[in-house]
Amino acid sequence: MPEFLGTRFGPVVRTLLAIVWCVFLAALLSTFFEASAKMFEDVLGWNRWVTISVVAVLVGVYTAGGGLGAVVVTDVIQCVVLFIGGMILAFVGLAEVGGIDGLMAKIDASGPDLAHHLDLLIPIGADTDFPWTGVLLGLGLVLSPAYWLGNQAIVQRTLGAKSEWDAKASMLFGAFLKTIVPIAFVLPGLLGLFLISDVVDQDLDKVYPLLIEKLLPVGVRGILYAAFLAALMSSVDSYANSAATIFTRDIYLRFFGNEKTNPLLVGRVTCIVTILLGVVLVPLVDNFEKGIFEAFQSYLAFFQGPTLVLLLAGVLWRRASAVGALTTLLGGIAVSATLTSLKVHFLHVAFWSFAASVVLMVSASLLRPDVEVAK
């Protein structure tokens, strides 16, 4: 992404974007490490830092050694295990509460607190972490498109497809898998409300692993833990690989490279350093009251609005200028930081920083057009 936007908007934007991506990829890695630590801490009694170290070493070895090819192959296997495992948990859990009718009856009987737990869109006034304006404007219009169109980890894998048709088909297949997510991963969370309500009250991040422990017999349980770990590892390997690519191509080779530089070695070292940085940043995740999902989305909300505007303007608007892009990137992230400090909901932060970035891009590009366009 920085390379493409650098070609469009110049070297300063490329460098800044590369730095932003590397920092946030490391921060995002920390959320995955925290999730793996919580699972093994409660279920297997492993020490938090032992778990994180084991996951970091495992992922580091095959990602640094095998690169994007290894990441894609392991991700395909992990995806199959993950979805089969998730479906097993959902159906066993549903049987436990008396089927979908039993679940709905329990929700209805639980009073107003759980009134909207089967609704996709929840009113603003309700006591919710996901108001429908945030889901539509923040998640639907900004974070999701930014993730699928402009996230380095996704774009890098898509560009690795053997043809344009395969790349498009993989996106559609990804969208299909996303429609299964509510059954395989959201439904078990809902079942946790009734099957392990004491855990839900204490720590939302522990619901899924403890549901596995409660509902499934030995053997199947192991497969599910493998599935859970697979999901985390597939994210860690993708992000570490992406950070390595960005740092090597957009920073190291441009500023420190010469004819003797081995890009593969730089990439491998960067991959390991990024994973280590992710481990160091794990304690920051504890600052988020609502758990790992909020931490992950909040990190993304911080910079995805401005970068999506850069991408869209770069592709769709001929008059978008280098000064406009630089202003958008710096100003958009400043808006995100300000709104976050004012306690604006993170999904709304994504939307407002996107809106502010559009204004900044248009006004700065018109005021300071590129020399070629001005001529």
Partner 1 sequence: MNFEWLAGTDTIIGTWLHTMVYVALLVWVFTRRRAEDERGWRDLRLWVVPLVTAQILLYWIF
Residues at the contact surface with partner 1, assessed by CB under 8 A: 118-125, 131-133, 135-136, 140-141, 165, 168-169, 172, 175-176, 179, 182, 339, 342, 344-345, 348, 352
Lookup: tokens for 314: 């770069």
- Identity of the residue, 69 or 123, whose beta carbon is nearer to partner 1 in the bound complex: 123
* Least separation in angstroms between CB 74 and partner 1: 26
Spatial CA neighbour of 284 closest among 271, 305, 298, 269: 298
* Least separation in angstroms between CB 316 and partner 1: 12
Surface-to-core class of residue 89, CB atoms within 10 Å of its CB (0-12 exposed, 13-18 middle, 19+ buried): buried
If residue 281 lies in a helix (H) or strand (E), which one and from where to where?
A: none
Q: Are 152 and 1 in contact (CB under 8 A)?
A: yes
Q: Are 194 and 113 in contact (CB under 8 A)?
A: no
* Least separation in angstroms between CB 339 and partner 1: 7
* Least separation in angstroms between CB 373 and partner 1: 25
Q: Is 259 helix (H, G, I), strand (E, B) or coil?
A: coil
Residue 118 CB neighbour total at 10 angstroms: 12
* Least separation in angstroms between CB 295 and partner 1: 20
Q: Are 253 and 1 in contact (CB under 8 A)?
A: no
Amino acid at 117: H
Task: State the Cα–Cα distance between residues 83 and 95, nearest whole angstrom.
Answer: 18
* Least separation in angstroms between CB 302 and partner 1: 16
Task: State the Cα–Cα distance between residues 68 and 143, nearest whole angstrom.
Answer: 24
Task: State the Cα–Cα distance between residues 263 and 294, nearest whole angstrom.
Answer: 35
How far from the centroid of its chain's Cα atoms is residue 357's Cα? Answer: 21
- Identity of the residue, 124 or 374, whose beta carbon is nearer to partner 1 in the bound complex: 124
Q: Are 292 and 34 in contact (CB under 8 A)?
A: yes
* Least separation in angstroms between CB 197 and partner 1: 23
* Least separation in angstroms between CB 116 and partner 1: 9
- Identity of the residue, 288 or 352, whose beta carbon is nearer to partner 1 in the bound complex: 352
How far from the centroid of its chain's Cα atoms is residue 23's Cα? Answer: 14
Task: State the Cα–Cα distance between residues 37 and 164, nearest whole angstrom.
Answer: 39
